Chains A and B, each alone.
Chain A
Amino acid sequence: MSVVARGLSHAYGELRSLESIELEAQPGEVVALVGPSGCGKSTLLELACGLREPTAGTIAVEGSADAAGRLSHCAYMPQRDLLLPWFSALDNAALALRNRGAGRAEARSRAGELFERFGLAGFEGARPQELSGGMRQRVAFLRTLVAGKPVLALDEPFASLDAISRAEMQEWLAGALRADGRTVLLVSHDLEEALYLADRVLVLSARPGRLVKEVRAPDPRAADRDGAVTDPAFVAAREEALRALREGAHRGAAAPAVPYDSYMGIRNSSEGEEG
């Protein structure tokens, strides 16, 4: 097993974000997490990457349950691309290598090979601000890949893109993931995206996030996105997931509401902890 969570729970102070999550991901499997906003999807990724500690239960990545071990086995691609404007696209992609002490030339040549493979050839020297939204996301994805970790945690990678570039990028990412064969945890709020990219989709309820349903993506899927999403099996799977999502949202609404003050307090304390 590449990723194993057992009874995984997490709370920000009083605010419970995840409850009793059971999750297993096989090596090379793409598992998508969908759910209403605030259901703890991103928290789950941060737990997997060792950026946070569970309040209860365990999560292990490639057999490591401690934060440092998870951090070394799981690469994180945040929602915003967070490309550094003072570095070229190539230097951004090579960041992990440089951080581990590789020389500039070596890091560049190793990251540069991937530029060719992922349709970014010719843009090595471009600054992030000169790239389109879709290309920035590609560079951010390469940066995650180049880190060379067995598990990728992708947090709504295309949320910031317009519909057309998002569809294009989904096709691109589907191809990239097929070619690379790494274990992926993908957070999305878009069922179509989740079912198109993932092997399995886990539907979470509203806060605190619990597993409501697991939906298998139809297999095999057409490589082109339009073909895949109009396939009857795909449509059926989407309906199934959508129903589960609706139920989960209602279940969440029945839970006691969190007082506004405590929510604000938690926001502040989590900001302070990062700063």
Chain B
Amino acid sequence: MILGWILPVLVIAALIGLWQIAAADGAIAEALNIEPFLVPSPAEVGDALWNSRSLLLENAWVTLREILVGLGFGVLLGIALSVVMRFSWLVRDAFYPLAVALQAVPVVVIAPILVIWFGYGIWPKVIIVALACFFPVLVATLDGFRSVDPEAVKMMRTLDASRWATFRRVEAPTALPSFFSGAKIAVAVAPIVALFAELAGSNSGLMRLIVEDNNNFHEARVFAAAVVLAVIGVLLVGLTALAQRLVVTWR
């Protein structure tokens, strides 16, 4: 357990150390044949993190809100659709192909359209994140429902269970682990999709900041923003895994 934590931390520390030496020395810039100020060292990135902390936090909050609200809608939509499709094969057969088709249209294409329709605010981002997130949840949860033991359903019938009681006590718990697998994928893609959406048009947010800083050769802050995004990503995935451990206690 302790070793499990120490090893990755050591690897990351070693990489940062190497990068510090190579960047301070100018070796990377030399190898890439560019100006040394374009290759910030970890220490400079740290400085940028600290000095621009309020700017970074402000924009991180914008992006995080897009991610969370979009995820919320997407996951709820995925759950609702999968439940309705479980109860009605008619709905499933009618709407599942549409869901697949919707998923097949790349986010990069939808994002600019939504910006034209809904403006520079949070909503085009929320819609895109939700669209990208409902699909993995829907597919995984439906898969989970498929793994319901027909014998258990039969047993519930002999124990006087209504359709709803069987769903609640057998089908839903059976599908929960699969649902979490889907939710983890959704959580992993949500930040990427939110950044794409910001790229298509926004007044604030981390992607907007990154583009601006990159244009101004402010590389240290670009890296700092990347660090903030990494932290957000790790936290989201970690929280989802934690929720799974708390809810799915029988595995």
Contact = CB atoms under 8 A, between A and B. Distances in A.
A274 B250 contact: no
Interface string A111-137: 000000000000000010100000000
Contacts of B249: 86
A72 B150 contact: no
A96 B154 contact: no
A78 B156 CA distance: 11
Interface stretch (B48-56, B71-79, B129-137, B162-170): B162-170
Nearest to A79: B151
A275 B147 CA distance: 10
B35 interface: no
A49 B151 contact: no
A237 to B, nearest CB: 31
Interface in A89-123: 95-96, 98-100
Contacts of A74: 158
Interface residues of B, number: 22
Interface in B127-152: 146, 149-152
Given A78-B154, A80-B151, A85-B250, A99 B173 contact: no
Contacts of B157: 51, 71
Query: For B157, B159, B251, which residue has the most chain A Cβ atoms within 10 angstroms?
Result: B159
B179 to A, nearest CB: 13
A1 interface: no
B160 A51 contact: no
Query: For B158, B170, B173, B251, which residue has the most chain A Cβ atoms within 10 angstroms?
Result: B158
Contacts of B173: 84, 86
A275 B160 contact: no
B153 interface: yes
A114 to B, nearest CB: 15
A82 interface: yes
A98 B166 CA distance: 11
A184 interface: no
A237 B43 CA distance: 89
Contact of A98 (B151, B153, B169, B250): B169
Interface of B: 146, 149-162, 165, 169-170, 173, 249-251
Given A82-B152, A99-B161, 4 more contacts: A49-B158, A99-B156, A99-B159, A275-B146
Q: Which 5 A-B pairs give the minimum distances between C-beta atoms?
A: A274-B150, A85-B250, A76-B158, A96-B159, A99-B161
28 contacts: A71-B157, A71-B158, A71-B160, A72-B160, A74-B158, A78-B155, A82-B149, A82-B151, A84-B169, A85-B250, A85-B251, A86-B249, A86-B250, A95-B156, A95-B159, A95-B161, A95-B169, A96-B160, A98-B169, A99-B159, A99-B160, A99-B162, A99-B165, A99-B169, A127-B250, A147-B158, A274-B151, A275-B150
